[in-house]
Structure 1
Amino acid sequence: EYCAKTPRAHESGTWITKNFIDSYARFHQSGDAHSVEVWDASGALVGGLYGVDAGGVFCGESMFYRKSNASKFALLFLIEHLQTRGATWLDTQVVTPHFETLGAKEIDRAEFLDKLKDTQKKNLKLF
């Protein structure tokens, strides 16, 4: 919900609708959708991200921040967690300048599908 509610300089409105939120809540209840949250010392939610475990590959959907760098901390925590579970990559959907500074690179569809297939064969348990 915070991803939907947090204004973005380059967007008006949000693509994250109530139906979308409800669907992802069900994904979460079934163990397929996950979030990483960053809370400050006062107990306020200041950043985070969410996405789906696609059979051993985390596919990020959206992230937000209310304090500078909070979403970056969420992403770095996620990367470290995924590495401990044997994951070697994650899907950011879109390579932005922000993701490029963190080492992301764009790959074509065929390479993505090959990586996805190879990773799913490993039966990784991410969460």
Structure 2
Amino acid sequence: MEHNRNYFPLYFLGDRLEFPPVETANEDGLLAVGGDLSPERLLLAYKSGIFPWFNDDALILWWSPDPRMVLFPSKIKVSKSMRKVLRDGKFKLTQNTCFNEVMEQCALVERKGQDGTWITSKMKEAYTELHRKRLARSFEVWQDGNLVGGLYGVDLGGVFCGESMFSLQPNASKFAFIKMAQELGEKGYRIIDCQVHTDHLESLGAELIPRKKFMELL
């Protein structure tokens, strides 16, 4: 039977804390629709290799793409110019000092091919709650006392699921990503989940792996 990538049995989530097997996602990685953004469901999603991504006026969409973009911390690429940035002390890195501000700045970033932001008010509330429970964390980059870059994500312990990053100065988000990868590598984290391919992430050493391998690592 030939599958049409635009038609597949869409799984609607109810109140029960459950997700269908990731193998049932369509070719774009869309797995399920509906449900909620409770901390319990979000944590189950990330532990199951699933993440939410949707527009403000839409139902919650849950994704598990194949292949999956990941970074093995030991494979972080630091260019010659970035080695200089890391040495010169222009940027200072902190963690979890202004999680909400990092999310707000990530929401403001204009991204190629996207109309508006997927970091909706519902998403902000949900991840702020995860942060309160110490399940989400942020890395902030400062220059002369001003917040100029950063990123945030969900920390599963051993696996960090990156959500979004922003940069108001050249190399600020790269600085955050490299410093995060180095720290997590030292702490024995296996992978940083980057979800989907971008040239920016690839330039930093991230790579596409089969979803099956990702699930094994997870």
- TM-score, length-scaled by structure 1: 0.85
Q: Which residue of 2 aligns with 1:40?
A: 143
What is the letter of the counterpart of residue 111 of structure 2?
R
Q: In structure 1, the residue corresponding to 2:166 is in which secondary structure?
A: strand
Find the structure with the greater CA-based Rg.
2
- Distance in 1, matches of 2:122 and 2:158, equals 26
Paired residues in the alignment total 115
With CA pairs under 8 Å and 6+ residues apart, which has the higher RCO, 1 or 2?
A: 2
- Distance in 2, matches of 1:40 and 1:55, equals 29
Q: Which residue of 2 aligns with 1:119?
A: none
Alignment of 1:43-122 (within 5 A): 43-116=145-218
One of 19, 24, 28 as aligned partner of 2:131: 28
Structure 1 moving runs of 4+ over 2 Å: 6-12
- Distance in 2, matches of 1:66 and 1:31, equals 26
Give, in angstroms, the shift of residue 95 of structure 1. Answer: 2.1
Give the RMSD, CA atoms, in angstroms.
1.2
More strand per residue: 1 or 2? 2
More helix per residue: 1 or 2? 1
Unpaired runs of 5+ in structure 2?
1-103
Identity of aligned residues (%): 50
- Distance in 2, matches of 1:52 and 1:14, equals 19
- Distance in 2, matches of 1:102 and 1:11, equals 22
Unpaired runs of 5+ in structure 1?
117-127
Give, in angstroms, the shift of residue 7 of structure 1. Answer: 2.5
Q: In structure 2, the residue corresponding to 1:52 is in which secondary structure?
A: strand
